[in-house]
Amino acid sequence: MTNSIRKIKFHPPQSKQSFTIHLDANFCTVESETNELVVASVEKSADRLLLKITSLESQPNLHQMLHVALDFLFGQNADLRSATIYADQKIEISRAAFYQLPSPWHFAQQQNKPETLIITNERQHPKRPILTAGTHYRRFVSSINKTISFRTVDIEKDLAIFHNWHNQPRVYDLWDLNKPIDELRTYLEKALADKHLIPMIAEADGAPIGYFEIYWAAEDRLAPYYDYEAYDRGFHFLIGERRFLGRDNTSAVVTSVMHMIFLDDERTKRIVVEPRADNKKVLLYAELVPGWKFIKEFDFPHKRAALLMAKRDDFFSAGAP
């Protein structure tokens, strides 16, 4: 087993408490704030994880604690493709199936909502969920030893740092939003009111590091340029904090936002992005993060763009996140 990280504390978005995970030799221990405990012996056979529960008490958080343990162990061992859990019964689960379960990373408030079709800009599409405030997703990423989370923008809390980010030359060269702070307030107000968009702050260990706009592609300006499907989603992003720049950090946060998007609605089978065709840094990350494929170049009114697409099956079958 990989032992680069031996202890972490993690607070799943769906839980009212956090958990501490210890990895000691071949044992993994998950402990809750109320002293509930799950201890499991851990063995690795080829690409399979064997998890044998050695201390098992009747407790309300057992299911979630096992999820936290599996996430930690899969994260520490990227080559593992499946797990077998021996407890009251034998349970087998693949890595790809496990990471498509909403818990313990996503609030999953939008799962399995009935479909109602409406029309926007002469395009028919499903009625989208009402935007909710707060944290949508949180995950400990072993590769960078940081917890990545995404929450809806809070204008009063985030406006100053949002303004600071957009007045950095490396950012406004691509976003063209080096505007006075009052204009950026208006920009965020419009983003929050836009029913096809979720403006989000990305955080690392609770500190803001970047801005993401996640959108439904069918209602977006991108829709006329490709054969969109009803639940396709896309995103724009910027890393505002220089300390978080770099291949490993950016790959981790992009992988995490893709994971969040796929968990947000199980009907989303594809994610699309349309960076500027000459944005070599973004195109490089498309090669590093699982699932992305180049589709074509095309002309927006304001830029020459590259259309990239990631399919759900490709993302998870490649071992993401």
Active site residues: 274
Whole-angstrom Cα distance, residue 177 to residue 175? 5
* Neighbour-count burial of 218, counting CB atoms closer than 10 A to its CB (0-12 exposed, 13-18 middle, 19+ buried): buried
**Measured distance CA(94)–CA(86) in Å, rounded:** 15
Handedness of CA 86, 91, 96, 100 (dihedral sign): negative
Helices (H) and strands (E) in the chain, counts: 8, 17
Q: Reduce the DSSP state of residue 146 to 3 states and report it.
A: strand
Query: What gap in Å lies between CA 151 and CA 257, rounded to an integer?
Result: 11
Strands 90-94 and 19-24, by their bridges, are: unpaired
Contact yes or no for 260/106 (Cβ under 8 A): yes
Do 1 and 42 meet the contact criterion of CB atoms below 8 Å apart? yes
Helix (H) or strand (E) segment spanning residue 190: helix 181-193
